[in-house]
């Protein structure tokens, strides 16, 4: 008996056993393991797809938020411009009203001053007339036919006429 011998039937049986084991492994081990791995790959792919979809939704929401924020800023600027414009119009109206009232007050004050001036002039004329009559009376008492006295009275009356 030799130490190493080759038996053809043993080799064929071993090859047959190997083929049967490979077929059994393929049917009962590799297919389920591959199915599990494929399911895991599909699950991971779905997770990545969902993450990508969530990322796109977030970007869309961010863009929408940014556009709304810009729109709100523009609207706020318009409101401020409108308020400033209305304030300017109101201030112009108040200033014009105040100027017209001030002009009216000045005009009434000038009218009162003229009236008071006329009153003062009339009072002065009345006092001067009274004084002239008093002087005339005294002159008449002193000298009735005096030419100088008559001339002085006429001059006094002319001066009264110039004052008015």
**pLDDT 10s digits, 80-124:** 999 999 999 999 999 999 999 999 999 999 999 999 988 888 887
Q: Rounded to whole angstroms, how far apart are CA atoms 71 and 65?
A: 10
| Mean pLDDT of all residues in 37-49 | 95
**pLDDT score at 141:** 61
Q: Rounded to whole angstroms, how far apart are CA atoms 93 and 99?
A: 10
């Amino acid at each position: 008996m030799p130490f190493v011998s080759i038996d053809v039937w043993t080799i064929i049986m071993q090859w047959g056993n190997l083929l049967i084991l490979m077929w059994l492994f393929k049917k009962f081990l590799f297919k389920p393991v591959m199915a599990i791995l494929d399911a895991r790959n599909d699950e991971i792919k779905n997770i990545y797809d969902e993450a990508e979809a969530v990322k796109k939704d977030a970007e869309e929401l961010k863009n929408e938020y940014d556009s709304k924020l810009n729109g709100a800023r523009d609207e706020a600027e318009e409101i401020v411009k409108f308020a400033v414009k209305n304030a300017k119009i109101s201030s112009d109206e108040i200033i014009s009203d105040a100027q017209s009232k001030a002009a009216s007050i000045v005009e009434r004050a000038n009218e009162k001053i003229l009236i008071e001036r006329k009153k003062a002039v009339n009072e002065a004329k009345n006092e001067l007339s009274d004084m002239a009559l008093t002087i005339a009376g005294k002159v008449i008492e002193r000298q009735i036919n005096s030419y100088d006295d008559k001339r002085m009275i006429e001059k006094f009356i002319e001066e009264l006429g110039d004052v008015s």
